[in-house]
Amino acid sequence: MASITLEGITKTYTGDVQAVKGVNLQIEDGEFVVLVGPSGCGKSTLLRMVAGLETITDGTLNIGERVVNKLEPAERDIAMVFQNYALYPHMTVYNNLAYGLKNRGFKKGEIDQRVHVAAKMLEIEEFLERKPRKLSGGQRQRVAMGRALVRDPAAFLFDEPLSNLDAKLRVQMRVEIKQLQRRLKTTSLYVTHDQLEAMTLGDRLVVLNAGQIEQVGTPMEIYARPATMFVAGFIGSPAMNMLPVDYLHTQGANGLLDNLPDGTDIVGIRPDDMHLTPPTAPHLTVDSTLALFEAAGAESHLYVNLADSDQPTVIRVSGQPPVAEGETLQFYVTRDALHPFNSATGQRTPSPGE
């Protein structure tokens, strides 16, 4: 068990391409931190640097008390779950789990005991003598986890471990990983591009974009107060709508927009904060035409064209409202649903007193 500290971690590839630009991050002992961001944001590179699979161009990496920049992956006391599992195809499940222990010179009895404990925890005991090729996707995933578990390492590193599973299995494994981590309390660093996976798994999220940290916080902090327009657009589905303040003024803002923080020229509104019936609190009223109606069962997505604007906008409501495509409709937004941003800096504009 250990904390992980990243100080100014940088990765530069030949040709001066900076994949990771000076990341500072402190992961506490036992914490589950998720690195999330679009593909190419540097999240996998960052994880692989922690694992020792990529060299660190600049910065300091601590696992526990040790600086591990120059250490081999095997010497860092970490275990990794790979996206494609990377199970050794010619070895039985048992030997896949045991290989890392054998290389570390564990005694036969100890290996046997650890393999069985891990296999029991993951419910793969009955497959121990099988080769990976004879397993289903979900079972392989469990073996990959088992290989990390048996080692009882200082930290688990997960590199998009669920992305090769079908949707249903993915949800199931997500729950299991979370429960397992709660039980073992092993420091974990988890990479995903799926914001829902990130929200549900992480104690804290690190949102990365273009090699830099955009925001660090608990899932709810990030959802409730996205620090940048990028985070606002990336976390939450459907994505947050962005409307220029000037446009809202033309729609009869009746003083509601007057106390927006200085520098605000754009506001974000979550699709579920746009109501079709007027709330009692003071609110904005916006006219629009329904372009496309998407029924998703418990909820519906309404894609609307705003009057006098070509800004794509989506509204989320529960159930199925009695509306038809082509119909004009009004929606209502209260003041506290507005996320103020400055479009030039991309940052959230601070409210007075912040």
Q: Where on the chain is the footprint of other proteins (CB under 8 A)?
A: 51-54, 72-74, 78-80, 82-91, 99-100, 103-104, 147
**Min dist. Cβ of residue 316 to other proteins (A):** 38
Given the complex with other proteins, which of 88 and 249 has the nearer CB atom?
A: 88
**Min dist. Cβ of residue 144 to other proteins (A):** 9
Given the complex with other proteins, which of 63 and 269 has the nearer CB atom?
A: 63
Q: What does the block give as tokens for 277? A: 């019936």
**Min dist. Cβ of residue 199 to other proteins (A):** 27
Given the complex with other proteins, which of 72 and 166 has the nearer CB atom?
A: 72
Q: Which residues contact 352 (CB under 8 A, 6 or more apart)?
A: 261
**Min dist. Cβ of residue 46 to other proteins (A):** 15
Given the complex with other proteins, which of 54 and 287 has the nearer CB atom?
A: 54
Given the complex with other proteins, which of 155 and 256 has the nearer CB atom?
A: 155
Given the complex with other proteins, which of 37 and 153 has the nearer CB atom?
A: 153
Which of these, 58, 23, 26, lies nearest to 209 by C-alpha position?
Answer: 23
**Min dist. Cβ of residue 39 to other proteins (A):** 17
**Min dist. Cβ of residue 72 to other proteins (A):** 7
Given the complex with other proteins, which of 80 and 115 has the nearer CB atom?
A: 80
Cα dist from 74 to 52, 93, 241, whole Å: 8, 20, 46
Given the complex with other proteins, which of 99 and 293 has the nearer CB atom?
A: 99
**Min dist. Cβ of residue 50 to other proteins (A):** 11
**Min dist. Cβ of residue 111 to other proteins (A):** 13
**Min dist. Cβ of residue 79 to other proteins (A):** 7
Phi-psi region of 263 (alpha: psi -120 to 50; beta: other; left: phi over 0): left
Q: Which residues pair with residue 88 across a beta bridge?
A: none
CB atoms within 10 A of CB 294: 12
Question: End-to-end alpha-carbon separation of the chain, Å?
Answer: 36
Given the complex with other proteins, which of 3 and 83 has the nearer CB atom?
A: 83
- Alpha carbons 208 and 116: distance in angstroms, whole number: 38
CB atoms within 10 A of CB 345: 11
- Alpha carbons 95 and 128: distance in angstroms, whole number: 8
